[in-house]
Chains A and B, each alone.
Chain A
């Protein structure tokens, strides 16, 4: 073996060492980028979840504006006509109308107990218009308005629950 062959061998070893170092650095930076991206994606998922919930609440509020439920005696955007909701319950023509698995109106204040019927109305708690299948329910506060014998038109605090079908 002569002097030039030894130099070439040393040179090749150096090149190989440099190649390994470069590969290690690339892997290191790749791990750092993956770590950063996973944190960003998780934050984004959180934001998306918040936006979805807000959107769902908006859809729930809009449902209170449907002509079948809305209180139209006076101008009121988030008011439900509880008298209409009571007579709407169990109407055959509205069985498949709502296209949601769960729709319920609940009186929050004053308190009441049980499902509303013509017998216990208005001293009751809930009117369930649809309840079928598996769902994730979202709710929104609304005003429940009705005609009262003594006070005329009366509004109380309530909630409307809307079920969404879960996917996957």
Chain B
């Protein structure tokens, strides 16, 4: 008798079905656990990044550079909120993974009221370059922290910018006098000349639609327009609070034999900053701040 058939008993069938279900559930819970672990890990990275940026602030330096390396390719999300007395800065991160989604939603946001990060909304890379410059108007208001990871090509930069880039040896920034000599894939920043290949055009007073004064040019170059305007408004709020603080100090020092006469001007300056509407108002703010700075320099007992 030819028994060519294959006997498939119920026990085998049951075992296969149960095995598939168990494997499916195991993979599902594992990926879910990995997803939660990634969220936790991404939040930790954002918190560590925030902590690393604490001692980066400048003291007497005119500029500072640090390079932050990540274990794997990481996205840094920069979020700015201008509401409140000082607004706040929120950063969150997301790491690349070979399991599950390549890039998942970022971890929890880590907020700070005293940091001002100028960058694109998303900075991606295994290394992030952090360039810090103090912002003064006319006294030191805060440190501007520029974060970038991609390559830049500065075409015919201003002398002071060229000097700063060379002195700090800013990584990823090439200086060129001809746009055709820029490395491929780099973001081309053109200073006071026009060319269709330019990604960013820097004028004497503005970077495309964003106006700048002094060190704000770096903020305007390295960050997106939204982030720049938001951080600028936050800086002006801090400037206003500091103006009121210096006005209080001026009033207090009158009783200590130091009459500065600046209290009224500082209060007016603070009022004008509270209504700050955007970078277009910077030139008028700069004029007032320069006046206050000049008057302070002439004082026997300086306020700042």
Contacts and interface: CB of A to CB of B under 8 A. Distances in A.
B55 A70 contact: no
Interface of B: 54-55, 57-60, 85-86, 112-114, 139-142, 238, 241-242, 245-246, 248-249, 252-253, 256-258, 301-304
B242 A68 contact: yes
A150 to B, nearest CB: 8
Interface in A50-72: 55, 58-59, 62, 65-68, 70, 72
B252 A118 contact: yes
Interface residues of A, number: 31
A79 to B, nearest CB: 10
Most buried by B among A67, A72, A81: A67
B54 A62 contact: yes
B113 A152 contact: no
A118 to B, nearest CB: 7
B142 to A, nearest CB: 7
Contacts of A65: 57-59
20 contacts: A58-B55, A59-B54, A62-B54, A62-B55, A62-B57, A65-B57, A65-B59, A67-B140, A67-B142, A72-B139, A73-B303, A73-B304, A75-B60, A83-B252, A87-B248, A96-B113, A97-B114, A99-B112, A147-B258, A153-B301
Nearest to A78: B59
A54 to B, nearest CB: 11
Nearest to A149: B257
A97 B142 CA distance: 13
A58 B53 CA distance: 12
B140 A70 contact: yes
A86 interface: yes
Contacts of A72: 139-140, 304
Given A73-B304, A77-B60, A152-B301, A147 B86 contact: no
Contacts, number: 67
A20 B154 CA distance: 73
B46 to A, nearest CB: 15
A152 B257 CA distance: 9
B112 to A, nearest CB: 7
A93 interface: yes
B130 to A, nearest CB: 15
Given A62-B57, A67-B141, 9 more contacts: A55-B55, A67-B142, A68-B242, A75-B60, A83-B253, A84-B246, A86-B252, A97-B85, A147-B301
B59 A83 contact: no
A153 B257 CA distance: 12
Contact of A97 (B58, B113, B257, B258): B113
A129 to B, nearest CB: 13
A88 interface: yes
Nearest to B248: A87
Contacts of A10: none
Contacts of A70: 140
Contacts of A81: 249
Closest 7 CB pairs of A and B: A87-B248, A149-B257, A77-B59, A93-B85, A72-B304, A65-B59, A67-B140
B133 to A, nearest CB: 14
B245 A91 contact: yes
B266 to A, nearest CB: 12
